[in-house]
Structure 1
């Protein structure tokens, strides 16, 4: 879906001229070894690029400016092998516009008790060199990720992986174009928001095209393109009999394929990575995109229903962050509740647009009435979501700031057949429990639309919030309503 190795993270080591050329030669050599090891780690998906050791304010400023100006450089890993006086870093850190991961490590894992001498001590000063560096970033109020441990440890690689994937997501967010086909669903609050403030904060642009512009592209799709897509449907999904060749509803599948091909062409030609539409604005379209939107998400595009451009952008960014990981990310909606005291849970679904990347078992291709929108019956993919830990993520506009809300959930196996509900279906239990999880979500102002993720953890979203410098509210096993209310009050003061 995405090639994360096309993105770079620079490995920059700090020292100074105090120690002499031999020590600096060893610092450079050790730094190269660490950078190469991280670059070759199967756990780290981006390219780690070694940079020569920096020893002066000018060298630091130059490497920071060069990182800013290098296409596809998404962040910088810093490490102080020796003591690097932190005043040297002020100008460079002020100039740096990329996320920083401060790796608090040292070249040797263990102390060589029998041979350690002052030469070794002069060379291996990370224990206090990194503290000097950490102090200046705290004094400068700089958000950064701090990872502690030996550079060969699996846990260290895993944390760098989580940070690097998010750095790629942030980079992509700054270059993302979201297209809205028509406007938001009328009278709805949470799907709307300040698109100018969003572009100022996140970098992604949100602009509108009339549905007629999309229809014009859809109407230009050739029969050959339609046949190719239909063959792909037949090879990939279990089609209901009426959609098979010579079936009575085959024309619905042909139109669905035409719409998908038109969507793909419009998004590709316009350089868009995400889009929205709404059933209230389908002028010129015969059916609401169902399978088309589902498959566009499966291909990596962001989608948000009813004009929800914030969720659309987040779907795309989170798919990029999770590229290559087991499981999926999708547009989702809390649809209805199961308030059984012994087995309370949420049914997550939507009338059409859930990404099949979260599916388990057979994915069916079906056509049914929608009962909304006033158009022909749309084709959609019908399936059940896999069980296991997951997240619901919502980005909301509070007027004076954006808030990122994350709820840990536990998806359960779907054992019911849902014979009269031809949609994608997920069942989950919110953390810490049904009542507290739902109350906390409502108090935090979470949307009814979310990004549902099977593979990202809270750490990824925490990294993203810090990189973007936005508010983060996490609802997990430790959440209490009293504690959450106090957190929201404190946040209101902090972000006022």
Structure 2
């Protein structure tokens, strides 16, 4: 029997940790070091109470010499639960002690430049207090050696109780979740890329080096023989019943017989895809309508529901998008209000009401839907297959981002555009697909110009949850270029940024 679990892919961060390391030195004596330990424990407890991420901040003993520093960083590198380190200099911690450890660091790294007390105790401050609470002094020493070693890192400065500081810390932790997911991710490609398309191609070896994820190719025929044909009729009927329970039905442009046959076929595809992905340990996948040997319809509702459950997807063999969708879903865990594969499709150039419609043939995640999608079957005017089942809906309103990763031979570039998804006031009765209507920042003309100048793809990952700052943090962890298109974007300055980046990354390769 096929056992279906809604939310079937556990996204998985319950046992993961960010390690909190505190720097000091033996010079200050036992009483000061005891106070440093007490304060750092209290700070970690307060941070764990304040943050909303599904990851625990784990306190580690105060580091006082080079051997202790190297030991804890080596342990972090080899730990499967540690996804990054937060370093705080409570006192002055001579930076030469940190060189060996920091040179071997392999995990994401945050310099937390804060101090325990919020205010200066004007009437009682003395040299003992100064020695114990010299984060301003110690943080600069630590900052120098981090810069001297050219470490990829984020610096957050401010008091640890400040909501803005907490927000930045959460952004970084969510980026670290994405980094960690990339380093365990496997992407399955059913068939090859769509023929003659450029941007969905790329060097998979370079991707594994820079991002950590693996990309594996499979013949569609092997999936058909090994999985699809093994699905029992009773299993498909069981899932069809779930469809009918979960979604309102629109039979639309096909006969009742064709409708029933299509949703049974779609159910078989979903069951087979789930089994194929679970057996191979894949959390992202691609398909293409040009390579469907043995399949009667292009996967539609199956892909939409798999994305809903946390899988990444890319159409037309776009493995970079599949990986990015999965990574962004993990970054959004616990608060995800919608993350999906999407494609720029058509513009609305009405003066004073300029917008863009994003969609795809079938494969848009129902997590971005405004309300419950309808289950529909219609002919697809591309691909030459039978009418596929799909979920049809409008996307909900709200701020969002779209992001893509492209390759230029010598490097990868992430491109991010901030959006405002708006309500769709007009019906589109002859366009039975999932769709999102948005206004890109700062405006459509500027955003489209900048996206095209940067070489942005026509596929992207769209999210109402993941932010541009989180994606900047993620790109820094990967060591890749990023450009952000937002309400401050000016094309002249954007061109300069692209030129400066070109020089920087070419020199970096020398």
Superposed displacement of residue 325, structure 1: 1.5
Superposed displacement of residue 101, structure 1: 1.0
- Alignment gaps of 5+ in structure 1: none
Q: State how far apart, in whole Å, the 2-side matches of 1:325 and 1:346 are.
A: 26
Q: Within 5 Å, which residues of 2 pair with 1:155-194?
A: 155-194=164-203
More divergent stretch after superposition (153-162 vs 44-53): 153-162
1:313 aligns with 2:323: yes
After superposition, the Cα gap between the structure-2 partners of 1:243 and 1:22, relative to the gap in structure 1 and judged at 3 Å, is farther
Q: Within 5 Å, which residues of 2 pair with 1:9-408?
A: 9-216=18-225, 217-241=227-251, 249-408=259-418
SS in 2 for 1:334: strand
Q: TM-score, normalised by structure 1?
A: 0.98
SS in 2 for 1:75: strand
Q: Match of 1:8?
A: 17
Superposed displacement of residue 42, structure 1: 4.4
Superposed displacement of residue 5, structure 1: 2.8
1:476 is aligned, of 486, 490, 506, to: 486
Superposed displacement of residue 35, structure 1: 1.4
After superposition, the Cα gap between the structure-2 partners of 1:210 and 1:343, relative to the gap in structure 1 and judged at 3 Å, is same
Q: State how far apart, in whole Å, the 1-side matches of 2:11 and 2:51 are.
A: 16
Q: State how far apart, in whole Å, the 1-side matches of 2:293 and 2:345 are.
A: 27
Q: Match of 1:490?
A: 500
Superposed displacement of residue 228, structure 1: 2.9
1:464 aligns with 2:477: no
Decide whether the 8 Å contact of 2:88 with 2:139 is kept in 1: yes
Q: State how far apart, in whole Å, the 1-side matches of 2:59 and 2:20 are.
A: 5
Q: Deviations over 1:95-151 (max 9, x none)?
A: 110111111111111111122122211111101111110111111111211112222
Decide whether the 8 Å contact of 1:302 with 1:315 is kept in 2: yes
Q: State how far apart, in whole Å, the 1-side matches of 2:280 and 2:186 are.
A: 9
More divergent stretch after superposition (432-441 vs 349-358): 432-441
Superposed displacement of residue 245, structure 1: 13
Q: State how far apart, in whole Å, the 1-side matches of 2:168 and 2:330 are.
A: 17
- Alignment gaps of 5+ in structure 2: 1-9
Superposed displacement of residue 387, structure 1: 1.2
Q: State how far apart, in whole Å, the 1-side matches of 2:228 and 2:287 are.
A: 15
Superposed displacement of residue 319, structure 1: 0.4
Decide whether the 8 Å contact of 2:329 with 2:336 is kept in 1: no
Superposed displacement of residue 246, structure 1: 7.5
Decide whether the 8 Å contact of 1:243 with 1:250 is kept in 2: no
SS in 1 for 2:427: coil
SS in 2 for 1:5: coil
Superposed displacement of residue 454, structure 1: 1.0
Q: Deviations over 1:53-103 (max 9, x none)?
A: 000011000000000111121000000000000111010001110111111
Superposed displacement of residue 362, structure 1: 3.1
Q: TM-score, normalised by structure 2?
A: 0.95
Superposed displacement of residue 461, structure 1: 0.6
SS in 1 for 2:244: helix
Superposed displacement of residue 248, structure 1: 5.3
Give the number of aligned pairs. 496
Q: Match of 2:4?
A: none
Q: State how far apart, in whole Å, the 1-side matches of 2:458 and 2:332 are.
A: 23
Q: State how far apart, in whole Å, the 2-side matches of 1:41 and 1:480 are.
A: 36
Q: State how far apart, in whole Å, the 2-side matches of 1:100 and 1:42 are.
A: 18
SS in 2 for 1:4: coil
